[in-house]
């Protein structure tokens, strides 16, 4: 132990210097009003869908497509082409394999943008698509998008009926919040049965794999409920042709009201790219002219997601200011910068953005006083538990200008967190008890995010926030959450992470939540988790995990990243391991890979949107999580914790 302790102590000067550089960098990145907002990027499907939306908004005239701002379309195409893989396809995460839906969307967008179909890039892309099963293997939303232009048979795409809002029992609210916003807006579009024009001679016939049906696939997921929903889809298609027109009209009116209501007090519908795109289309088919204030605002909010400097163009899926500000300010307080004057501004900025109106969550919690925070600048319908918990962690360390407002806001938010606990003891992202597994078998559920179930990472963070605000394991809600985490631990000692990649993320925040509840780190479940983390450490001292973990349903190694190394270290230290060689090598990895300006380099996606479907690069994860890990290590050394 003395040798290990001595080795740890020799790291401290370098750790302190690393903390200083990264903390000063993070402070320099703070906005004038006190908040942080990092870039949030994803794959090329965003740029591909942008080109599709431009075709929708500005259809060809006499077969000739002449959209405004053609330079933007050209730059979007160049951005797509810059990400093409050697086999011709496109992936959905860095270092990942070609993925069929992303590749089909890219082909459509590039061909529409004027890239020659018989050129080498498109030829390789087409060959890749056919090798992956052709356009028929793409997911439902890709097919639906193409069917709007009669490029995929409408009869072989899933029905998305607006009558879903008329179903008794509030079926819509058994779907995840993001699915809700997509389904309602897309149902309006789908009900119009559009066959929007494309440029003369444009089609995608070359992407259809000969001999493969364009209909719903018969594979090993062809379960009884799946068969039932597919049969139901046939009935829905008959309804679309011969159904009661008056009921359809009532349903559409209700969808319109629902959608427009949720576009208020938000940066667009759901404040995320997919429903914002479909909302523009929905307003169009509903007859809102281009000069309508509602439609103009929908387009403006969507265009705000675009980053275009005249040379490079790409889209963000949304903005992340609350998340960035909460994590960044918390990391700085842990690093010893809690008295820095700009953190008062951060606290005030956060307090000003508490949501005080009921949202979709209140359907299941109608008598709960509104509180909480969203992910984005403005998204009042959808405060989320993860952001709220992270904010409560930050506010437990920050000092706002008005202490009374600080205290009152914290109390409301904590009460809201308690109210949002699900029956199983865990916490989900936006809703309670959003776990109707039956809905995962509907034909349009292959975006793999139909539900919003409880998860270990959010439950762990919520426990951590409750612990930081004076609650302990004797509180009934905390006890239930501890029991939930113990049930969710996997046999190898890890936890599944829903909102970060993947098992490293889940294990980190489960352990931190248990530590906040003073769980004895000698317990077997803690030791199993520690041993699992140590067992997957890379030879360079860091940790890394591929997004393929979600496809494989088990940890899949990848090259070390700063954020995942930080999560592993935070997990180990929460589990009582502060002096092992694994921890020291992990700290050394962070010290050795930090750049002179305080940054760490990270190109792999470590954030999760929809597992298996959509991943995220949070551009400050590589800064504030290493800072937090180093600060935590420094504190443990100062406290002399064995």
**pLDDT at position 226, please?**
45
159 compared with 418, residue with greater pLDDT: 418
What is d(CA 394, CA 464) in angstroms, rounded to the nearest whole number? 11
Per-residue pLDDT tens digits for 56-74: 999 999 999 999 999 999 9
What is d(CA 476, CA 353) in angstroms, rounded to the nearest whole number? 29
Residue 201 clears pLDDT 90, i.e. is over it: yes
**pLDDT at position 484, please?**
98
Q: Is 1 exposed, middle or buried (0-12, 13-18, 19+ CB in 10 A)?
A: exposed
620 compared with 224, residue with greater pLDDT: 620
Buried b (16+ CB within 10 A) or exposed e, 261-274: ebbeebbbbbbbbb
DSSP 427-491: B-SS-SSB--GGGGGSTT-TTS-S-B--BHHHHHHHHHHHHHTT--TTSHHHHHHHHHHHHH--T
Q: Provide the pLDDT confidence category of residue 6 given band limits of 50, 70 and 90.
A: low
**Contact (CB, 8 A) for 114 and 80:** no
Tell me which of 43, 324, 360, 386 is the catalytic residue: 386
Tokens read off for 270: 């759901």
**pLDDT at position 232, please?**
56
| Distance set, CA 381 to CA 33, 351, 372 (Å) | 24, 17, 11
The one-character DSSP state at 333 is I
3-state secondary structure string across 113-155: CCCCCCCHHHHHHHHHHHHCCCHHHCCHHHHHHHHCCCCCCHH
**Would you say the C-alpha torsion 27, 33, 34, 36 has a positive or negative sign?**
negative
Q: Which residue shows structure tokens 């939303």?
A: 141
Paired strand residues for 434 = 452
* Phi, psi for 311 (deg, rounded to 5): -115, -40
**pLDDT at position 91, please?**
98
Per-residue pLDDT tens digits for 98-134: 999 999 999 999 999 999 999 999 999 999 999 999 9
Cite the beta strand spans of 208-319 per DSSP E. Answer: 306-308, 313-315
Q: Provide the pLDDT confidence category of residue 423 given band limits of 50, 70 and 90.
A: very high
What is d(CA 272, CA 278) in angstroms, rounded to the nearest whole number? 11
Per-residue pLDDT tens digits for 459-505: 999 999 999 999 999 999 999 999 999 999 999 999 999 999 999 99
**pLDDT at position 525, please?**
98
269 compared with 214, residue with greater pLDDT: 269
Mean pLDDT along residues 337-355:
97
**pLDDT at position 159, please?**
84
Per-residue pLDDT tens digits for 517-529: 999 999 999 999 9
380 is a catalytic site residue: no
Q: Provide the pLDDT confidence category of residue 10 given band limits of 50, 70 and 90.
A: confident
What average pLDDT does the structure give for the chain? 93
Q: Provide the pLDDT confidence category of residue 588 given band limits of 50, 70 and 90.
A: very high
Residue 238 clears pLDDT 50, i.e. is over it: yes
**pLDDT at position 1, please?**
31
Pairing outcome for strands 306-308 and 313-315: antiparallel
- Angle subtended at Cα 247 by Cα 243 and Cα 250, rounded to the nearest 5 degrees: 145
Which of 567, 571, 572 has its CA nearest to residue 590? Answer: 567
What is d(CA 272, CA 609) in angstroms, rounded to the nearest whole number? 11
**pLDDT at position 439, please?**
79
3-state secondary structure of 271: helix
**pLDDT at position 222, please?**
42
Residue 360 clears pLDDT 80, i.e. is over it: yes
**pLDDT at position 243, please?**
62
Percent of the chain whose predicted confidence (pLDDT) is above 90: 86
Mean pLDDT along residues 207-222:
74
Per-residue pLDDT tens digits for 542-559: 999 999 999 999 999 999
Q: Provide the pLDDT confidence category of residue 236 given band limits of 50, 70 and 90.
A: low
Per-residue pLDDT tens digits for 434-463: 998 877 777 666 666 889 999 999 999 999
Mean pLDDT along residues 250-254:
95
Which DSSP helix (H) or strand (E) runs through 608?
strand 607-610
* Angle between helical axes of 476-488 and 456-468 (0-180°, round to 10): 150
Residue 642 clears pLDDT 50, i.e. is over it: no
Mean pLDDT along residues 255-265:
97
Mean pLDDT along residues 142-153:
96
**pLDDT at position 537, please?**
98
Residue 539 clears pLDDT 80, i.e. is over it: yes
* CATH numbers and ranges of domains, the chain: 2-41+319-639 (1.50.10.20), 45-209+229-315 (1.50.10.20)
Residue 219 clears pLDDT 70, i.e. is over it: no
**pLDDT at position 639, please?**
82
Residue 227 clears pLDDT 80, i.e. is over it: no
What is the value of pTM for the model shown?
A: 0.94
**Contact (CB, 8 A) for 450 and 179:** yes
């Amino acid at each position: 132990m003395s040798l290990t302790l001595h080795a740890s102590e020799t790291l401290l000067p370098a750790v302190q210097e690393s903390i200083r550089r990264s903390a000063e960098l993070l402070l320099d990145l703070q906005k004038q009003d006190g908040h942080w907002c990092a870039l949030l990027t994803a794959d090329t499907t965003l740029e591909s869908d942008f080109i599709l939306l431009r075709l929708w908004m500005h259809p060809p005239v006499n077969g000739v497509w002449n959209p405004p701002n053609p330079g933007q379309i050209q730059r979007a195409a160049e951005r797509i082409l810059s990400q093409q893989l050697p086999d011709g396809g496109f992936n959905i995460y860095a270092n990942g394999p070609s993925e069929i839906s992303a590749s089909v969307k890219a082909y459509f967008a590039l061909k529409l943008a004027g890239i020659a179909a018989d050129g080498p890039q498109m030829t390789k892309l087409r060959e890749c698509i056919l090798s992956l099963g052709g356009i028929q293997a793409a997911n439902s939303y890709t097919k639906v998008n193409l069917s709007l232009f009669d490029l995929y048979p409408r009869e072989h795409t899933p029905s998305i009926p607006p009558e879903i809002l008329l179903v008794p029992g509030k079926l819509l609210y058994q779907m995840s919040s993001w699915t809700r916003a997509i389904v309602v807006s897309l149902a309006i579009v789908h009900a119009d049965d559009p066959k929007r024009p494309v440029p003369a001679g444009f089609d995608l016939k070359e992407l259809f794999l000969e001999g493969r049906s364009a209909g719903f696939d018969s594979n090993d997921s062809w379960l009884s409920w799946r068969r039932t929903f597919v049969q139901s889809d046939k009935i829905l298609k008959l309804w679309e042709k011969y159904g009661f027109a008056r009921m359809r009209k009532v349903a559409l009116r209700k969808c319109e009201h629902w959608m427009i209501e949720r576009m208020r007090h938000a940066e667009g519908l759901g404040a995320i790219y997919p429903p914002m795109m479909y909302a523009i289309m929905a307003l169009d088919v509903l007859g809102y002219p281009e000069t309508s204030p509602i439609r103009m605002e929908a387009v403006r909010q969507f265009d705000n997601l675009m980053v275009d400097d005249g040379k490079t163009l790409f889209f963000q899926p949304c903005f992340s200011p609350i998340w960035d500000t909460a994590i960044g300010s918390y990391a700085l307080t842990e690093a010893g910068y809690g008295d820095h004057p700009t953190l008062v501004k951060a606290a005030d900025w956060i307090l000003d953005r508490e949501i005080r109106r009921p949202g979709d969550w209140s359907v299941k919690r109608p008598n709960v006083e509104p509180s909480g925070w969203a992910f984005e600048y403005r998204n009042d319908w959808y405060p989320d538990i993860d952001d709220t918990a992270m904010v409560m962690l930050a506010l437990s360390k920050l000092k706002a200008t008005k202490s009374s407002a600080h205290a009152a806001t914290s109390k409301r938010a904590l009460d809201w967190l308690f109210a949002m606990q699900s029956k199983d003891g865990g916490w989900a992202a936006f809703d309670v008890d959003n776990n109707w597994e039956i809905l995962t078998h509907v034909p349009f559920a292959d975006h793999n995010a139909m539900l919003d179930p409880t998860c270990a990472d959010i439950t762990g963070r919520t426990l951590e926030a409750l612990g930081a605000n004076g609650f302990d394991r004797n509180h009934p809600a905390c006890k239930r959450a501890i029991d939930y985490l113990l049930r969710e631990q996997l046999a190898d000692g890890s936890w599944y992470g829903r909102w970060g990649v993947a098992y490293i993320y889940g294990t980190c925040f489960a352990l931190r939540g248990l530590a906040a509840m003073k769980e004895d780190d000698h317990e077997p479940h803690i030791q199993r988790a520690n041993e699992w983390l140590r067992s997957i450490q890379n030879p360079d001292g860091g940790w890394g995990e591929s997004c393929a973990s979600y496809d494989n349903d088990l940890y899949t190694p990848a090259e070390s990243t700063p954020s995942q190394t930080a999560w592993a270290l935070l997990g180990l230290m929460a589990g009582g391991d502060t002096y092992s060689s694994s921890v020291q090598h992990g700290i050394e990895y962070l010290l050795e890979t930090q750049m002179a300006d305080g940054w760490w380099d990270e190109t792999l996606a470590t954030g999760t949107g929809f597992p298996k479907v959509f991943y995220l690069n949070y551009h400050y994860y590589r800064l504030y999580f290493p800072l937090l890990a180093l600060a935590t290590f420094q504190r443990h050394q100062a406290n002399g914790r064995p």
